[in-house]
A and B are shown apart, each in its own frame.
Chain A
Amino acid sequence: MNQYEHEKLHQQHIKRMKSEKRMVIFYQTIIFLCFFIIWEMASSLKWIDPLLFSSPQKIILLFIEKLQDGSLLSHISVTLFETVMGFILGTLLGTWLAAFLWWFPKMAKILDPYLVILNAMPKVALGPILIVALGPGFTSIIAMGAIISVIITTIVVYTAFKDVDSNYVKVLQTFQATKWQVFKEAILPSSFSTIISTLKVNVGLSWVGVIVGEFLVSSKGLGYMIIYGFQVFNFTLVLLSLLVIAILATLMYQLVDFLEKKLIRNLE
């Protein structure tokens, strides 16, 4: 085979890859469209209860209405702010706690069963206590978003800290590194990829915490929109909030995923 034939084969290969990708996107679009078309049909033909399941058309109309009176954007911004804060606080606090446990191994041994209990406990059950303690405002909602991810972050990151190859520590110790230097030069950077992958998990968890928090107290936010819609039996509003949450949570996850790829490139 000569150079020309190789190139031809390569071109064919690229073509095949492209057509496969097109096929995947095509079917994904079909599923997307079918879902909404069948939903709309089922609702207008009364196969399903339109009061309960609403219809895409009604949701879009409500979406436009809420967008125009500005209420949707203000709800979105409140929830988004709470979620991002909860997620960042949860991750930072969890990493900080993990560092604390690493620094004091005896403390880690003593606290081990309590961590297990705290991790097993459904954190949203703490909601009422948080609200009474911190007041029925966005502080307690952010606390919910953070508390739900803090313990699991602590456990995962602490395990990563412990699993760092002890020979890296040995290298530093032969240079008389202090404990802080060992942490800064070896422990933290080796666990960086684990910390970032907990971010991905925490995005989802913080949404749960914040939405439940809003169910309980707030007068703003997407969680509030769901509860309000439920109380006045406006399920179009409930479904609209649900769709908005799904889109925002996906976007946030993709953003973290993008960050992960950017940051981890140099860490093997």
Chain B
Amino acid sequence: MSPLLSIKEISHVYFTKESIFHALQDVSFSVKEGEFVSILGPSGCGKTTLLSIISGLVTPTQGTVLINESEVCSKHSSIGYMLQQDYLFPWKTIKQNVLLGLNILHDKRKESINNALNLLNEMGLSKVEDAYPRQLSGGMRQRAALARTLATNPSVLLLDEPFSALDYQTKLKLENLVVKTLKEYDKTAILVTHDIEESIAMSDRIILLSKQPGRIAKNFTVPQELKTLTPFQARRHPLFPSLFHSIWKELEALESV
């Protein structure tokens, strides 16, 4: 089976007046349908740049990104992007925020709208659908942002440290919800994070990026026993600490270079 998403020899360079910043070098990997891949690395390793390139918002200096064998560009609707903060529009109600993507795409089909409202319901937000974002807690807002991202039914979901602004308890709950929802809708996802535990708990595969320029340092496969568990249960599984330890050692080695 050919992969859903393949990233081929991506290099990216930023130019400023004074300097040249080599963000990414020769990054290649592919993601199968339904797979959850985490990209782990120290801050400044070009993780967010990589997501922007995959989403088609930034054109890489070199290399290509293929989804279902065709090249991505910004006119592609099969990618959903969830940012570090919720970025819900404060002047729109939760319901209007969730329906934003469909409105932008002029998708007025009943089934799409029902699907979006259904998501709202699943995220436990149906009671607050007419509230404004500022009336909601951080966790609820991030859930609304997830519903907004999933509402347009993207085939690949990009998550850019979506839990980093939340408190620990909310984060754990949201991790469970995200994994459950993604499995339910059979979504492919790429999570960018610097949190080792989070990457082990949520994903099937972990790609370690080195810093300046960002390139793939190592691949880790999460054992089958952990994959089938929810993130919360995975954190308490006996295999969890050993994987954590080996990733930790690799990261240490990368940072000491």
> Using Cβ atoms and an 8 Å threshold, which residues of chain B touch A171?
81, 83, 87, 100, 148
How far apart are B34's CB and chain A's nearest CB, in angstroms? 21
Interface majority SS on A: helix, strand, loop or mixed? Answer: helix
- Evaluate contact between B90 and A167: CB separation under 8 angstroms: no
B104, CB-defined interface residue at 8 Å: yes
Question: Among A8-16, A117-125, A174-182, which stretch is in contact with chain B?
Answer: A174-182
- Evaluate contact between A176 and B105: CB separation under 8 angstroms: yes
B152, CB-defined interface residue at 8 Å: yes
Question: Among B69-77, B161-169, B235-243, which stretch is in contact with chain A?
Answer: B69-77
Complex Cα gap A168–B133 (Å):
14
Closest CB pairs A-B (n = 3):
A174-B81, A175-B104, A175-B101
Complex Cα gap A171–B57 (Å):
10
Complex Cα gap A174–B58 (Å):
11
Interface residue ranges of A164-193 to B (CB < 8 Å): 165, 167-168, 170-177, 181, 185-186, 189, 192
> Using Cβ atoms and an 8 Å threshold, which residues of chain B touch A5?
none
A267, CB-defined interface residue at 8 Å: yes
Residue among B79, B87, B152 with max Cβ neighbours from chain A (10 Å): B87
B132, CB-defined interface residue at 8 Å: yes
- Evaluate contact between A173 and B132: CB separation under 8 angstroms: no
B15, CB-defined interface residue at 8 Å: no
Complex Cα gap A266–B93 (Å):
10
Known: A170-B83, A174-B79. A189 touches B91 (CB 8 A): yes
Residue among A174, A185, A266, A268 with max Cβ neighbours from chain B (10 Å): A174
How far apart are A268's CB and chain B's nearest CB, in angstroms? 5
Complex Cα gap A173–B149 (Å):
12
Complex Cα gap A218–B101 (Å):
54
B55, CB-defined interface residue at 8 Å: yes
Chain B positions within 8 Å of A, measured between CB atoms, are 55, 57, 74-77, 79-81, 83, 85, 87, 89-91, 100-101, 104-105, 132, 134, 148-149, 152
Number of chain A residues close to chain B: CB under 8 A? 19
- Evaluate contact between B77 and A176: CB separation under 8 angstroms: yes
> Using Cβ atoms and an 8 Å threshold, which residues of chain B touch A167?
83, 85, 87
Known: A170-B57, A170-B81, A185-B100. A175 touches B152 (CB 8 A): yes
How far apart are B98's CB and chain A's nearest CB, in angstroms? 12
> Using Cβ atoms and an 8 Å threshold, which residues of chain B touch A175?
77, 100-101, 104-105, 152
> Using Cβ atoms and an 8 Å threshold, which residues of chain A touch B55?
174
- Evaluate contact between B75 and A176: CB separation under 8 angstroms: yes
Known: A189-B89, A267-B91. A174 touches B75 (CB 8 A): no
How far apart are A23's CB and chain B's nearest CB, in angstroms? 36
Complex Cα gap A165–B86 (Å):
13
- Evaluate contact between A174 and B105: CB separation under 8 angstroms: no
- Evaluate contact between A186 and B89: CB separation under 8 angstroms: yes
Complex Cα gap A173–B104 (Å):
10
> Using Cβ atoms and an 8 Å threshold, which residues of chain B touch A189?
89, 91
Complex Cα gap A20–B91 (Å):
37
Interface string of A227-268 (1 = CB under 8 A from B): 000000000000000000000000000000000000000111
> Using Cβ atoms and an 8 Å threshold, which residues of chain A touch B81?
170-171, 174
How far apart are A97's CB and chain B's nearest CB, in angstroms? 24
- Evaluate contact between A176 and B90: CB separation under 8 angstroms: no
Partner of A181 from B57, B91, B104 at Cβ < 8 Å: B104
Complex Cα gap A185–B103 (Å):
10
- Nearest residue (CB) in B for A171 is B87
- Evaluate contact between A173 and B89: CB separation under 8 angstroms: no
Complex Cα gap A174–B77 (Å):
8
Complex Cα gap A266–B152 (Å):
26
Known: A173-B74, A174-B81, A176-B74. A266 touches B132 (CB 8 A): yes
11 contacts across the A-B interface (CB closer than 8 A)? A168-B87, A170-B87, A171-B83, A171-B148, A172-B100, A174-B81, A176-B75, A176-B104, A177-B104, A185-B104, A189-B89
> Using Cβ atoms and an 8 Å threshold, which residues of chain B touch A192?
91
Complex Cα gap A170–B80 (Å):
11
Known interface pairs A173-B57, A174-B57; 12 further A-B residue pairs with C-beta atoms within 8 A, sorted by A's residue number: A167-B87, A171-B83, A171-B100, A172-B104, A174-B55, A174-B149, A175-B77, A175-B104, A176-B76, A177-B104, A192-B91, A268-B134
